[in-house]
Amino acid sequence: MSYQVEFNTRWADFDPNRHMRHTAYNDYAAEARVRYFKNAGTSIEDFARQGIGPVLFTECTTFKKEILLGEKITVNVKLSGSSDDLRKWKIRHEVFNEQGNLAAIIEVFGAWIDLHKRKLTALPDAYRSTLDVMEKTTDFEVI
């Protein structure tokens, strides 16, 4: 399932030089991920009720083009890797500026954690479809 979210950038997203803060890119990517899961039928609250939640190990951002104050941006969500049991996953976000130019690529590597045991856990079968239907990148890999 292809998924993207459009956001209006805010004054608070920018530094004194009018560059979008590097953490703002990551905030928009995280918001897109949360919205993706809800749109796919399983909200973060649903996961929490089952005692699981996402945890990130790494987050890498590559900057390509500047985003200007007040621009609308589009952020997509794609699965770039997962383990067979969907315990671990990689998600790639592409951030496009208002002109449709690729402005940044954000790659996150994470897993599901049992919120009670505080240990990694496999994604329950009832929720597998949320990752199974996520659009995959052309370089998707089993991890």
Contact present, 85 and 141 (Cβ < 8 Å): no
pLDDT, tens digit (0-9, with 9 covering 90-100), for 8-45? 999 999 999 899 999 999 999 999 999 999 999 998 89
pLDDT at position 112: 96
Q: Where are the domains of the chain?
A: 4-130
Kindly report the pTM of this predicted structure: 0.94
CATH code: domain 4-130 is 3.10.129.10
Whether the CB-CB separation of 61 and 25 falls below 8 Å is answered with yes
- Using the predicted structure, report yes or no on whether residue 111 has a pLDDT greater than 90: yes
Q: Are 3 and 137 in contact (CB under 8 A)?
A: no
Going by pLDDT thresholds of 50, 70 and 90, the confidence category of residue 123 is confident
Radius of gyration of the chain measured on its C-alpha atoms: 16
Does residue 41 contact residue 126 with C-beta atoms inside 8 Å? no
